[in-house]
Structure 1
Amino acid sequence: MKNNEKSFSRLLELFLVSLKLGFTSFGGPIAHLGYFHNEYIRRRKWLDEKSYADLVALCQFLPGPASSQVGIGIGVMRAGVLGGITAFIGFTLPSVIVLILFALLLKGWELGDAGWVHGLKIVAVAVVAQAIMGMSAKLAPDLTRKAIALIALVITLLLPASFTQVGIILFSALIGYMLLKNNDPSERDSIMRIPLTRKFGAICLSLFLALLLLLPLAREATDSKAVAMFDSFYRSGSLVFGGGHVVLPLLEREVVPNGWAEKSNFLAGYGAAQAVPGPLFTFAAYLGAVISGWKGGLIATAAIFLPAFLLIFGALPFWDALRKNPKIRGSLAGVNAAVVGILIAAFYTPIWTSSIQKPSDFAFAAVLFSLLVFWKLPPWVIVFVGAVGGLLIG
């Protein structure tokens, strides 16, 4: 009985913490990693720094929404499969509800130019700057890893193609495999407790591939609009590397040519998705609601995130064993250094370039950064101050 109470208490805590993040995590996937690091690692210490870095590295390898997969992974390590699902629901629920309501009721609103939205973009500047400070000190402590981070930064900025990030990750893993010995004893002592069996992981990976192959056949064999929607959104969620923005052209090709949504509605929903917290993949909830009401929104959301669940559930049971291998640890060290470079590149564009447009924006970002880093105010306070300040300076 006590174990059941403890499990319920842990799930409830996980839901409330992830729900708070779901309400306050503005700024896109890179910013989400900063919010996660601040809440899950620095404040609650649910994972050590090395395990968090390795989890981020794993999710960079996998297709799908990397920040959502990191959140699911933390939930799994905290409370098993139910923990992963609970963390996902808490983090995703606010933006799903808002975007479905927007599709149904608020089509005439233009949120992109609102002052409070601009203020929230400046909040993302402060959050990501803090994440860069913390992660660079841990993940790029020597000249070799600093060089990897610098190369990743330069290539990401100069070659902003869809698969650039995948190439950088693979290249950095190879360099780490060859050059980084990973002799730091503290890194070896890092323990990632994963309450999933390898059999369960293999079933999840098999199911991921089976759905990817069989859903198009089921779509052809039936006239069901729900099956067609599930196939389109599942495929979009399965084939995306590089974060939420990369999924947009895939979704547009699935939705607009089929006549499910007009181009103007697609762009309006994208503007709304930028204005709400949480993962950008919840843009699918808006599109599904445009196509088939609130039920369509739920179908589209389930379909686009299902690959993320199957991949992270499938990979985690094998990941802890792999990362204990000395050569794999070297590869991970290289990937983690590259993540720092990718983080800095994302800090410049799109976060900085879309947020800091005049001196008052920079001054406000400096104030928010100081409140977050030096006065150590909680992120929800920074979000509130950012929204109010955005209205004032707007």
Structure 2
Amino acid sequence: MVEQTKVGGRIGEVFWIFLALGLTSFGGPVAHLGYFRTAFVERRQWLTEQAYADLVALCQFLPGPASSQVGFALGLLRAGPWGAAMAWLAFTLPSAIILVLFALGAAVLEGPIASGIIYGLKVVAVAIVAHAVWGMARNLCPDKTRAGIALAAVFAVILVSGPLGQVAAIVLGGVAGLVLCRDNATAPTSETLHFPVSRRAGVISLGLFALLLGLLPLLAGSAVWLTVMDAFYRAGALVFGGGHVVLPLLEAEVVQSGWVTSDEFLTGYGAAQAVPGPLFTFAAYLGALLPGLPSIVGAVLALVAIFIPGFLLLVGVLPFWNQCRQWGSAQALMRGANAAVVGILGAALYQPVWTNAIISPQAFAMALTGFLLLTLWKLPAWMVVVIVALGGVFIQP
């Protein structure tokens, strides 16, 4: 009874700590990792600095939303599976609710001020994505080899449109990295991670991840909810390199299929920059707009589907990570895949982000202002969103 009370208390502790973070963690995945470090390494000492660095490395190594995966793992470490679930729920819920309400209200907003703000949100998406491409290129393509892989990925996405081109670019990037990027391998650290996940549970999680990835496309045409789950699950399973990379994957699934208009997509993406918590909650906004499902049902289904693959992979790899991270081949493969991701996001910066938002010199000037505010003045993303969205009132066509 004492042990159950202790575990129950830890679950509640995890929920309230992550709810506070979900309400205040502005700035995107990198900023989230900084908030987590302050909260759990410095303040509460749930794990050491080196263990936290290893955990971050693991989550950046895997597809999926890195900051949410780190939060999930911290909840798992502190209070077991229920702690992991509460960490995700509390960190995700605030921004998901805000974006669903925005999706339901955006359609009824009328008048020049409202339409100007919505246009400003599309323009600010240009600045946000350009900033993401710039930062990721500097970190993930620091040499000619990886820059070449990124450039090849741009051509792959242009020549083969839709999700197939993006998947092909990531796979070919990984293969190229395996061949060309072995010289960049770094020596692993000596400290190990210990989570309450057995090897059997890890194998089951990896098997379930692969089963859903292969089975959902076969079932997609039989029901609307299965089609939606397939689209968002596949997007979540192929996101390497951070939350912004989900933009081209989701655009291929929901805009090119005709579920959501390009204007609605970019408006929601701009709004997602102004709220705290994980960028993946953009899926809740899109789910609320999908035809054929009630708004709340679509939002919940899309939100759960896009997060599930990253968590299954994390649970699957945790029992084996200490051994796998010693392999230079794994590091080389991920270097190539991450470089390809930069190319995919660079292609998305042009289409659909730029072509749908920059339709006048004034819009270009406003997008450039947002980019400089992010890169030179180092303003937080939510503040830049507010500034450019208000500027949209004055530059709308």
Q: Deviations over 1:252-304 (max 9, x none)?
A: 7xxxxxxxxxx8x999986875674254432224448x74574x356634663
1:208–1:133 CA distance, 2 compared to 1 (3 A): closer
231, 246, 250: which is aligned to 2:252?
246
Q: What is the Cα deviation at residue 49 of structure 1?
A: 9.3
Q: Is the 8 A contact 2:152 2:343 kept in 1?
A: yes
Q: Is the 8 A contact 1:355 1:361 kept in 2?
A: yes
Q: Secondary structure at the match of 2:182?
A: coil
For residues 142 and 123 of structure 1, what CA distance do their matches in structure 2 show?
A: 29
For 2:141, give the aligned amino acid.
Answer: A
Map of 1:167 onto structure 2: 168
Q: What is the Cα deviation at residue 345 of structure 1?
A: 1.4
Q: What is the Cα deviation at residue 360 of structure 1?
A: 1.4
Q: Is the 8 A contact 1:54 1:332 kept in 2?
A: no
TM-score by length of 2: 0.69
Q: What is the Cα deviation at residue 192 of structure 1?
A: 8.9
371, 385, 388: which is aligned to 1:386?
388
Q: What is the Cα deviation at residue 189 of structure 1?
A: 4.2
Map of 2:119 onto structure 1: 118
For residues 281 and 159 of structure 1, what CA distance do their matches in structure 2 show?
A: 24
For residues 304 and 316 of structure 1, what CA distance do their matches in structure 2 show?
A: 19
Q: Is the 8 A contact 2:54 2:193 kept in 1?
A: no
Q: Deviations over 1:281-338 (max 9, x none)?
A: 32224448x74574x3566346634643553344442456434311121111111211
Q: What is the Cα deviation at residue 166 of structure 1?
A: 1.0
370, 373, 390: which is aligned to 1:371?
373
For 2:339, give the aligned amino acid.
Answer: A
1:273–1:380 CA distance, 2 compared to 1 (3 A): closer
Worse-superposed segment, 148-157 or 231-240: 231-240
For residues 134 and 368 of structure 1, what CA distance do their matches in structure 2 show?
A: 15
For residues 17 and 119 of structure 1, what CA distance do their matches in structure 2 show?
A: 27
Q: What is the Cα deviation at residue 148 of structure 1?
A: 0.9
Q: Secondary structure at the match of 1:243?
A: helix
What are the within-5 Å matches in structure 2 for residues 316-327 of structure 1? Answer: 316-317=317-318, 318=320, 321-327=323-329
Q: Deviations over 1:145-203 (max 9, x none)?
A: 11111111222233323211111111111111122224454x64498957362333333
For residues 111 and 13 of structure 1, what CA distance do their matches in structure 2 show?
A: 40
Q: Is the 8 A contact 2:14 2:86 kept in 1?
A: no
1:230–1:343 CA distance, 2 compared to 1 (3 A): closer
For residues 58 and 238 of structure 1, what CA distance do their matches in structure 2 show?
A: 15
Worse-superposed segment, 120-129 or 337-346: 120-129
70, 75, 79: which is aligned to 1:79?
75
For 2:69, give the aligned amino acid.
Answer: G
1:87–1:204 CA distance, 2 compared to 1 (3 A): same
Q: Deviations over 1:217-255 (max 9, x none)?
A: 9xx9xxxxxxx6654543443445562123327987xxx
What are the within-5 Å matches in structure 2 for residues 209-220 of structure 1? Answer: none
Q: Is the 8 A contact 1:116 1:391 kept in 2?
A: yes
Map of 1:70 onto structure 2: 66
Map of 1:146 onto structure 2: 147
Map of 2:287 onto structure 1: 284
CA RMSD of the aligned region, Å? 4.4
Map of 2:229 onto structure 1: 234
Percent identical among aligned pairs is 25
For 2:87, give the aligned amino acid.
Answer: T
**Unpaired runs of at least 5, structure 1:** 26-34, 60-65, 221-227, 253-262
Q: Does 1:15 align with 2:10?
A: no
TM-score by length of 1: 0.69
Q: Secondary structure at the match of 1:163?
A: helix
Q: What is the Cα deviation at residue 121 of structure 1?
A: 2.4
Q: Is the 8 A contact 2:185 2:328 kept in 1?
A: no
For residues 173 and 194 of structure 1, what CA distance do their matches in structure 2 show?
A: 28
Q: Deviations over 1:50-86 (max 9, x none)?
A: 9768745631xxxxxx5xx334313224433545653
1:148–1:251 CA distance, 2 compared to 1 (3 A): closer
For 1:345, give the aligned amino acid.
Answer: A
1:299–1:384 CA distance, 2 compared to 1 (3 A): closer
Worse-superposed segment, 146-155 or 7-16: 7-16
1:131–1:210 CA distance, 2 compared to 1 (3 A): closer
Q: Is the 8 A contact 1:72 1:85 kept in 2?
A: no
1:129–1:100 CA distance, 2 compared to 1 (3 A): closer
Q: What is the Cα deviation at residue 210 of structure 1?
A: 6.7
1:13–1:123 CA distance, 2 compared to 1 (3 A): farther
Map of 1:195 onto structure 2: 195
1:178–1:364 CA distance, 2 compared to 1 (3 A): same
Map of 1:353 onto structure 2: 355
Q: Does 1:36 align with 2:29?
A: yes
Q: How many residues align?
A: 352
Q: Is the 8 A contact 1:57 1:335 kept in 2?
A: no
For 1:237, give the aligned amino acid.
Answer: F
Q: What is the Cα deviation at residue 9 of structure 1?
A: 6.0
Q: What is the Cα deviation at residue 102 of structure 1?
A: 5.3
For residues 134 and 352 of structure 1, what CA distance do their matches in structure 2 show?
A: 18
For residues 183 and 306 of structure 1, what CA distance do their matches in structure 2 show?
A: 30
